[in-house]
Amino acid sequence: MGVKVEDFDLDRENTWCPGCGNFAILDVVKETLANLGLPPHKVQVISGIGQAGKMPGHFRVNTFNVLHGRALPAATGVSLANSGLKILVIGGDGDGLAEGGNHLIHAARRNIDVTYMMHNNMVYGLTKGQVSPTSDKGLKTPTTPGGNPIAGLNPIQLLLGLKASFVARSFSGNKEQLGSIIAKAIEKPGFAFIDILQPCPSFNKINTHGWFKKRVYDINEEGHKPDNLSEAFKAAMEWGERIPTGIFYDEEEERPVFNEALTGSQDQPLVDAELNPLDIKEIMKEHL
């Protein structure tokens, strides 16, 4: 029995603004999960706080919506407890790079087996328009009334620097590319990161749908092969008139994923283990 897109439907009021990039991303995620034949109860979505963080409220899967910036540690715990779940971590640029920056570094280092979709609209949406770590220099926001004095952070460079297993960028306006990248990320064992450019029609009047549309191009179509880290860095340097998207890096070497590295000698997911106090008898004997 196949999995249908409708299996993921959830009838709840959606409060995203008209024209928000999140709508397209949500559609693509549902389609991709159905295409991969992953039933809702085997999919775990974990999110922090922000407009992207509200996504779990709009499709039917297992969802754990935690605190601002803390989706990745929660996902780390879930993946250890039950390696049988396909885990998607969803959050915005503020959630992932500001409040959750430290966790992002360590989730990549641990190589936790998740797909991390960072919806990047280069501004804070939920709290109404403040500057974000990825906001371009000069962007005027309520907390940078004179224009953002600092250049935006390039998440692709950061993740390449962390040698994440899979590093890609896509755009909410290119559903086809986005779907294909999300599918590859889900199938990739280990930490798969996607920087998803999306417009915020309410609070970012500079980096609009049209602005992105005019600039994005697919590096893989232009010949970039994702097996080389230095080439990936080179491709990631570009930002401005042309914005590179596609798969920058897809590590060839097989690296153990975190839950296997940590619980490798266990023959079943921890959640299925029987607990028995008598099992500690041998450990107790060591104290005699």
Partner 1 sequence: MKDKESFSIKVGGEAGQGINTIGSILSRSFADHGLHLFAHQDYYSRVRGGHNFYQVRITSEPVYSFSSKIDVLVALDPASLDLHLHELNNNGVIVYDQNKIEPENTDKQYFALPMAELGEKHGGKKVMGNTVAAGAVWQIMGGTPEILENTLRKLFQDKGNEITESNIKAARAGADFAAENFFGRCDCSLGKPVNKEQMVLTGNDSLALGALAGGCQFISSYPMTPVSGAIQYLARQANRLPLAFEQAEDEISAIIMSIGAAYAGIRSMVATSGSGFSLMVEGLSLAGMTETPIVILLGQRPGPATGMATRTEQGELLFALHAGNGEFPRAILAPYTVEDAFWTAAHAFNLSEKYQIPVFILSDQHLADTYLTVEPFDLSAVKIERGNILKSKELDQMAEYKRYQATESGISPRAFPGQSKHCVVSTGNEHSESGYSTEDPAIRQQMAEKRIQKFRGLAKDILPPVQYGTDNPETLLLTWGSSYGACHEAVNKANQQDENIAVVCLKQLWPLPKEKLLEYIKRANRLVTVEMNSTGQLGRLLRTETGIQPDYAILKYDGRPLNSSYVLEQLEKGGTFPWE
Contacts with partner 1, residue ranges (CB under 8 A): 12, 40-42, 44, 46, 54, 56-57, 60-67, 70, 73-78, 80-82, 84-85, 102-103, 105-106, 259, 262-266, 270-271, 273, 275-285, 287-288
Residue 174 to residue 207: CA distance in whole angstroms: 16
Q: Which is closer to partner 1, CB of 13 or CB of 254?
A: 13
Q: Is 43 exposed, middle or buried (0-12, 13-18, 19+ CB in 10 A)?
A: buried
Q: Which is closer to partner 1, CB of 20 or CB of 235?
A: 20
Q: Which is closer to partner 1, CB of 36 or CB of 66?
A: 66
Residue 67 main-chain phi, psi, to 5 deg: -95, 165
Residue 41 to residue 61: CA distance in whole angstroms: 6
Q: How far is the CB of 33 from partner 1 (least distance, A)?
A: 13
Q: How far is the CB of 246 from partner 1 (least distance, A)?
A: 30
Task: Identify the three-state secondary structure at position 180.
Answer: helix
Tell me which residue of 78, 141, 154, 75 sits closest to 107, measured CA to CA. Answer: 75
For CA atoms 124, 129, 135, 141, give the dihedral sign. Answer: negative
Q: Which is closer to partner 1, CB of 63 or CB of 170?
A: 63
Residue 127 to residue 141: CA distance in whole angstroms: 12
Q: How far is the CB of 95 from partner 1 (least distance, A)?
A: 13
Q: Which is closer to partner 1, CB of 230 or CB of 287?
A: 287
Q: Which is closer to partner 1, CB of 77 or CB of 147?
A: 77
Q: Which residues pair with 117 in a beta bridge?
A: 90, 194
Helices 21-35 and 175-187: crossing angle in degrees, nearest 10, is: 50
Residue 121 to residue 129: CA distance in whole angstroms: 10
Q: Is 249 exposed, middle or buried (0-12, 13-18, 19+ CB in 10 A)?
A: buried
Q: How far is the CB of 37 from partner 1 (least distance, A)?
A: 15
Q: How far is the CB of 268 from partner 1 (least distance, A)?
A: 8
Residues 52 and 20: beta-carbon distance below 8 Å: no
The token duo for 279 is 């099992």
Q: How far is the CB of 193 from partner 1 (least distance, A)?
A: 17
CA-derived radius of gyration, the chain = 20
Q: Which is closer to partner 1, CB of 254 or CB of 274?
A: 274
Q: How far is the CB of 261 from partner 1 (least distance, A)?
A: 10
Residue 90 to residue 62: CA distance in whole angstroms: 13
Q: Which is closer to partner 1, CB of 10 or CB of 243?
A: 10
Q: How far is the CB of 143 from partner 1 (least distance, A)?
A: 22
182: enclosing H helix or E strand: helix 175-187
